[in-house]
Structure 1
Amino acid sequence: RSESPTLEPRVAFLADYREKTEPTHRILDHLLHQTFAGESGAAEPESDLILDTNPDPETIQSVLARYPFRDVQGAYNNLVQLAHESSPFLSTHRCRHFLASIASNLLRAVAETPDPDMALVNLEKVTNSLGAKTVLWELFSFNTPSLKLYVDLCASSQFLSELLVNNPGMIDELLDSLVLNQPRAAEELRKELSDLCHGAADLEPILHSFQDKEFLRIGVRDILGKDSIRATAAELSDVAETILAEVSERQAGPLEKRFGLPYLEEGERAELRCRFVVLALGKLGGRELNYHSDLDLMLIYEGDGRTKPPPGATRFDRYEATDNLHFFTELAQHIIRAASYLGPMGRLYQIDMRLRPTGRSGSLVLPLAEFRRYFAAEPDGPTHPHGDAQLWERQALTRARVVHGDADFASEVTDAVANAACALAWRPELADEIVAMRERMEAGRGARDLKRGAGGVVDVEFLVQMFQLKYGRERPALRMPNTWEALDALLAAGLLSAEEHAALQTGYDFLRRVQGRLRIVHNRTLDELPEAMEEVNKLARRLGYEAGGAFLAELDKNTKQIRNLFIEVVARERGAS
């Protein structure tokens, strides 16, 4: 036995410790040292730049000038921040070494983005919000696809990057959704939000968090090309419809406590509860919502009457009895305020109710009987050849869809909407009026306007709506609020040839994709191409083109094709019976 028997356990422990930890040391040596070398075996300058805590300006310039940064010093400052752990409990030394191991791959990925400077700025902000940068760099060191995904997210959208900065915990749900790799059903969204809001006193943070999470999921799937523009628009619409339904449901309760329940005074349902629906028009009505789209709405209630105390009320309960018009006007105002309130967390949606009959000058809500009267097709003299309603108002109704309310009453309203939209007997003057409206919308718009310019989105929409106004009464299958579905229905009905359908659908897809890429960068309502060619090149690269020239050529081809078809088809249908 040894002369110092007390040392034997320590020696044995250390030997065992070295044996167990040696593989780990070899792995770390590979990650932190061997991977710094390029194919030649020499250390890569990007790694040396990260490891050097005080490089001279010439070194910074020589290393980063190889990449297309407009602001080299700014890019280096962001790299310094990426190499620094903000938490005192985490090792900046270890963070720096892991970042050095992926520096060349990271910078190459950033260099391939449409705007490398913006990509690196966003990458620094998002990473700082997530914390534990070392773990992220370690993940990227052996999982290059995850590095590419992360860079693409930060490069494609300031909007999505800021969502992650403000909600760092959403990164896990985002990754889970990408693993599942499938869109979410509308019913699934409604159930989730209903469960989240159940029993909650303050809905605002819940609604904003739900919206942010879903925007992040949809936006990332969009920029990764996992969904078509048609599917993306439908998902954005489903999120808006889900939030709007929850807001509408919650706003009714306080009003019922104040005024009582609205009842009907006459008709077959006299003395029964007065029902209502929220009718969506425009992009939401068609399930074609874009990023940062307004919600065009109309509230229709069943009929006249007054509010009464609810069943079970006692003589001690106090209610401010009022008429149904006032009750539902208050409800509409509450829905608008709740959805469009601009608070610390931003605004959920901008609500627009100007498409209701008589617009801003009319009542905010209207009973179904008044809706039917307003859209009756009987001429009322030479100044009202279509009844009270203007032709553009009937066009708007071709995209109307009930998004909230009693299901049976929704069926009644849907029938009334279809009758109102398609009530007019076709005559050539209607085609002339549609063309005149289109020309007014186009006036003053340049070729950069993707929506109202020549051959823009509105050309396709007006063409579809003309067919629906003309044939919708006899052919219910054409009464589709969704433009894509309506185009398919027109093809099936033989009203569009296969060539015409393909050209219109391809052009509409293209224009909507470009709109989406414009809007997703900063979540702003943008429909015009940027003037500066540098910005056009960035947009082109976000759309998968190598340069702006090829993109502009594709845009020109699509808009010319759409405009030619608009002119030809309107002329053909103008006099056809």
Structure 2
Amino acid sequence: MEFLMNKCRSTFETEWQKVLDFIEGYEGLPNKRRALIYTEKLRERLSHQIPEFLADEFLFHIVILFSYSSFLGEFLIKHIKLLEKLKTIYKKSFFPSDFFVPTIEGETEKQFMNRIRIYKNFQMARVVLRDILKLADFEELVRDVTLIHDSIIKATLKFAESVMEKRYGKPSSGYIVIDMGKAGGFELNYSSDIDLLYVYESRYGETTGGNYGKLQNHDYFVLLSNYITDLLSKKTEEGICMVIDLRLRPNGTLGPICNDIEALEQYYTAVARPWERFALLKARPSAGDVKRTGIEFLKLAKTFIFRKYVDLTLIEEVLRLKELIKSKVNKKGKKIDLKLGEGGIREIEFIVQAFQLIYGGKYPQIRSQNTLIALKRLLKWGFITEKEYSDLRSSYLFLRQAEHMLQITNFRQTQTFHPEGEEAEELARKMGFKDRESFLKKLNQIMKTVNAYFNKFFPTGDRKPLSVVTAEDLEKMGFREPLEVKRFIEVLLNLKTLSPEEVNTLDVMGDRFLELLFEVPSSKNTMKNLVSFFEKEEGRVFFFSILSEIHALKLLFYLLSTKEFFIKRFRETPEIVDLMFNPTYIEEPITVERLKKDFEEFKNLRFVKNLSEIRALLRLRLGRVKIEEFLKEITAIVDFLLDIIYTEVRPDFSLASVGKHGSREMNIGSDIDLLFFSSLPSKDNQKALEIIKRLESLGYEVDTRLRPFGEKGELVFTINYFKKYTETTARVWERLAFTRFRFLYGNLKGETEKIVEKFLFEKPLDFETLNEIFEMRKVLERELGKGQKDIKYSCGGVVDLEFISYIYQLFIKKRIGNTFEVLSLLGDTEKKFKKAIKLYRQIRWAETEKRIFGEYIFYSDRIELLKKEIRKMYQEFSQWIKTRVSANT
């Protein structure tokens, strides 16, 4: 440019030879031959004279423009008078208000059509000059190109309406022209088709009437839309103003040229395909009733475009569109396609648009119709790294600049060129490179970078969709029941509760879905429960919102693999899905105090109960608690419920428990053994029944048979009656049961616990009592042990270790209650019983598996060996305790 400026200083004294010398000597011209041709044409049009307004650097700038563009050279030579006006504006930055096409009263259709074509080409000459002389950045250039087109469309709409209203009168509905694609994002190319939608407010109503009579709204707007299209796209002596593409309207070329809001809503709700969300992402009302009809349209479009959750359904659509584009590009042979080729402009646009569509519903701050603005927002909000942003932005600017330089020669919409042709050589010079090789090297590097990012964000791989997976494929993966899994997949992909888009998303998951299914404890349960999960909207929304979160998906599949545990609680309180994976809830121990805080927040006892039980299982699954801690947390949930219920019922009796609730060892599905004490004969049976009824309504079974005389005794009994019963009537098995006694609520704690302690330990454990206990164990084994599948009463079952706990507490005269704690104490005292706590953990784990999944999972092949070890431990303890009791006696 220094050479240029030196030439400019002597422009006022130069003659045409000086201009020719400039062309010959200035290496910055991409096509000197073209510059010479149009300079000669200019000289002839000016009769070999140089007007005063050309006698400075502007003449050299025009020569440079000639070397870039044949189209603009022809236009400026034809409209030579516009050169003087061009000089006054090409160095100025325009405001949006500067782009304006005035109305001319009495102008004919032909005059108007020619005027808007001249206006467009003149303004494009200004933009291109600013570009090649580096007077404006990319964002300003494409914004100005868009504003040029917008101003023309506004003028065209105004002209068309004036003609149509004379014929048919004014319509009773608003009407808008909507820019789509690059026009919608204020980033139009120098030569680009203009994607438009024509939309009107309502089909109901008619025009006021004119020279041709009246029309229904729809018929009027169809004529208006066709007229606008013709005004813009018909060829005149000034050429074509714009190439209008209307294929993005509902149903494409088969659909009506314009639609009302109601028709659009029906279409986007029920018919529209995923790719149309990409198209609407850039929709922008640019002319007409923008403030009312435009706003209504944008509200509708927003609902269709964005989902309330993180939406991964679009990834497959990106890949599908990519493959379609790839097949088209392959037909172009060796040509380089700056837009659609691998690593081209479209891949950057796909990356930006897909991020917005996937995450834009949940994170509206990343939305923008403009690619570069959206890219900046993705960086700001942490969706891409600084390097990814820098690489993609610089690549986009380079590719768009190359696309522009390719198009301005003849103002054709083209993005392809042959790397070995003259066009590539010229393009290299337009892009500022010394030769074609260095340009192609840089271009190849950029396109490889873009394609690498595209493949990183949207990896294809060799995944099969679910719909094409065969039973043989499933068998190879290791599924035990491949035919059943295949049938389930077919059921899932045909669920009426799922939208076509959701079915497509499931199908696309392919191997990923099957891997998750294969890993769970029970594939059969998962398959069955997933159908139920999708029957509720909360389940569907939640599932498709966590598709990018593999850990959350694994946990969900784990919960669904439980037999009834999760799905029952989900059906009762579907809203639990919003909180069950909350890290704070999972990490924090489940205590009565914590649950009370939850109840204060949610005001729903069943919701807190269900959510807490799911949290407890997740804490166990994630290793946050051991099995004994899990059982205590399940017990804490019941304690919390009883606390709330007892407080609300306000009885005059005290409340205690025995069994697994008393010892804080409740499992999923455990009964609650309750006792109701009063100081005086109570008439509060109804309140006791109310407590029982409320617990049962929450899914628990309440057992009150451990009261004096069982079912024949009073439900609420006095403390004196209980004392007399333990002193005169209670049997040995009741002593065992009351080692798990725990006082809960009321004012009789001290008295009651004193009676229990006396009942348990006043009479020492003698040989006769010990033998009776051993006989009792044999009876339970014989009558309740249900063969090999039973792990509670059968030989080596849970009861073996519980009897050890009962006996040891009676022996040491200390009520501990919790079996884990008793066995730990025993193991610390007698090292040979150290293994008892490990065996108890394992058998309770196995019991938990059976209760939750309906079958043994980890312990399926280990139960018998485990039971043998437990029985051996029980027998060793029996011999040991007999020796100790005999010695004491």
| Category of TM-score, reference length = shorter chain | 0.7 to 0.9
Aligned runs of 1:371-450 on 2, under 5 Å? 371-376=264-269, 387-406=270-289, 407-423=291-307, 426=310, 428-445=312-329, 448-450=336-338
1:419 and 1:473 in contact (8 A); partners too: no
Q: Distance in 1 between matches of 2:450 and 2:190?
A: 23
1:208 and 1:348 in contact (8 A); partners too: yes
Cα distance change on mapping 1:130 and 1:486 into 2, 3 Å: farther
Q: Distance in 2 between matches of 1:347 and 1:574?
A: 49
Deviation at 1:101, TM superposition (A): 6.0
Q: Distance in 2 between matches of 1:297 and 1:276?
A: 13
- In the alignment, what sits opposite 2:403? 515
Higher RCO (CA-CA < 8 Å; seq separation 6+):
1
Q: Distance in 2 between matches of 1:235 and 1:175?
A: 17
- In the alignment, what sits opposite 1:189? 99
1:533 and 1:548 in contact (8 A); partners too: no
**One-letter amino acid of the structure 1 residue matched with residue 215 of structure 2:** T
**One-letter amino acid of the structure 2 residue matched with residue 473 of structure 1:** G
- In the alignment, what sits opposite 2:24? 107
Correspondence for 1:255 among 161, 164, 167: 164
Deviation at 1:471, TM superposition (A): 1.7
- In the alignment, what sits opposite 1:165? 77
Cα distance change on mapping 1:485 and 1:130 into 2, 3 Å: farther
Q: Distance in 2 between matches of 1:522 and 1:252?
A: 33
**One-letter amino acid of the structure 1 residue matched with residue 104 of structure 2:** C
Taking only aligned residues, the RMSD between alpha carbons, in angstroms, comes to 2.5
**One-letter amino acid of the structure 1 residue matched with residue 277 of structure 2:** R
Cα distance change on mapping 1:444 and 1:360 into 2, 3 Å: closer
| 1:522 aligned counterpart, secondary structure | coil
Correspondence for 1:227 among 116, 125, 136: 136
- In the alignment, what sits opposite 2:250? 357
Deviation at 1:574, TM superposition (A): 9.9
Cα distance change on mapping 1:465 and 1:108 into 2, 3 Å: same
Deviation at 1:436, TM superposition (A): 1.8
1:459 and 1:566 in contact (8 A); partners too: yes
- In the alignment, what sits opposite 1:279? 178
Deviation at 1:421, TM superposition (A): 1.2
- In the alignment, what sits opposite 1:544? 432
Cα distance change on mapping 1:323 and 1:133 into 2, 3 Å: same
Cα distance change on mapping 1:198 and 1:220 into 2, 3 Å: farther
Q: Distance in 2 between matches of 1:445 and 1:216?
A: 31
- In the alignment, what sits opposite 2:700? none
Q: Distance in 1 between matches of 2:202 and 2:51?
A: 62
Matched, 1:127 2:43: yes
2:118 and 2:238 in contact (8 A); partners too: no
| 1:296 aligned counterpart, secondary structure | strand
Cα distance change on mapping 1:327 and 1:308 into 2, 3 Å: closer
Correspondence for 2:32 among 105, 109, 116: 116
Deviation at 1:319, TM superposition (A): 5.0
Q: Computing the radius of gyration over CA atoms, which structure comes out larger, 1 or 2? A: 2
Q: Distance in 2 between matches of 1:493 and 1:212?
A: 40
Cα distance change on mapping 1:370 and 1:108 into 2, 3 Å: same
Deviation at 1:429, TM superposition (A): 4.4
- In the alignment, what sits opposite 1:289? 188
2:379 and 2:386 in contact (8 A); partners too: yes
Q: Distance in 2 between matches of 1:197 and 1:487?
A: 42
Matched, 1:306 2:199: no
Cα distance change on mapping 1:307 and 1:115 into 2, 3 Å: same
Matched, 1:174 2:62: no
Cα distance change on mapping 1:366 and 1:547 into 2, 3 Å: same
1:197 and 1:206 in contact (8 A); partners too: no
- In the alignment, what sits opposite 2:383? 495
2:314 and 2:358 in contact (8 A); partners too: no
| 1:168 aligned counterpart, secondary structure | coil
1:130 and 1:165 in contact (8 A); partners too: no
- In the alignment, what sits opposite 1:459? 347
| 1:347 aligned counterpart, secondary structure | coil
CA deviations 1:231-269 (Å, max 9, x no partner) are 211111100010011101111122222223222xxxxxx
| 1:262 aligned counterpart, secondary structure | coil
1:114 and 1:542 in contact (8 A); partners too: yes
Cα distance change on mapping 1:340 and 1:424 into 2, 3 Å: farther
Q: Distance in 2 between matches of 1:346 and 1:534?
A: 27
1:309 and 1:319 in contact (8 A); partners too: no
How many pairs were matched up?
447
Deviation at 1:494, TM superposition (A): 1.3
Cα distance change on mapping 1:283 and 1:428 into 2, 3 Å: closer
Q: Distance in 1 between matches of 2:117 and 2:194?
A: 16
**Worse-superposed segment, 123-132 or 214-223:** 123-132
Matched, 1:200 2:200: no
Q: Distance in 2 between matches of 1:171 and 1:132?
A: 16
- In the alignment, what sits opposite 1:74? none
Deviation at 1:394, TM superposition (A): 0.9
Cα distance change on mapping 1:158 and 1:318 into 2, 3 Å: closer
1:106 and 1:147 in contact (8 A); partners too: no
Cα distance change on mapping 1:408 and 1:209 into 2, 3 Å: same
Q: Distance in 1 between matches of 2:19 and 2:337?
A: 42
- Give the alignment's TM-score, normalised by structure 1: 0.73
Cα distance change on mapping 1:566 and 1:168 into 2, 3 Å: same
Cα distance change on mapping 1:258 and 1:449 into 2, 3 Å: same
Cα distance change on mapping 1:464 and 1:423 into 2, 3 Å: same
CA deviations 1:70-105 (Å, max 9, x no partner) are xxxxxxxxxxxxxxxxxxxxxxxxx9x944566544
Correspondence for 1:478 among 366, 380, 391: 366
1:280 and 1:401 in contact (8 A); partners too: yes
CA deviations 1:37-71 (Å, max 9, x no partner) are xxxxxxxxxxxxxxxxxxxxxxxxxxxxxxxxxxx
- In the alignment, what sits opposite 2:757? none
Cα distance change on mapping 1:103 and 1:336 into 2, 3 Å: closer
Please list every run of 5 or more consecutive structure 2 residues that lacks an aligned counterpart in the other structure. 1-9, 461-544, 550-889
| 1:532 aligned counterpart, secondary structure | coil
Aligned runs of 1:60-99 on 2, under 5 Å? 98-99=15-16
**One-letter amino acid of the structure 2 residue matched with residue 522 of structure 1:** N
Cα distance change on mapping 1:323 and 1:429 into 2, 3 Å: same
Please list every run of 5 or more consecutive structure 1 residues that lacks an aligned counterpart in the other structure. 1-34, 36-94, 264-273, 311-316, 377-386
Deviation at 1:480, TM superposition (A): 1.1
| 1:413 aligned counterpart, secondary structure | helix
- In the alignment, what sits opposite 2:548? 576
- Give the alignment's TM-score, normalised by structure 2: 0.48
Deviation at 1:307, TM superposition (A): 1.7
| 2:433 aligned counterpart, secondary structure | coil
* Percent of aligned positions that are identical: 26
CA deviations 1:423-479 (Å, max 9, x no partner) are 485554431221121121112415601111101011011111111111222222322
Aligned runs of 1:238-253 on 2, under 5 Å? 238-253=147-162
- In the alignment, what sits opposite 1:84? none
Cα distance change on mapping 1:149 and 1:323 into 2, 3 Å: same
- In the alignment, what sits opposite 1:333? 226
Q: Distance in 2 between matches of 1:318 and 1:99?
A: 58
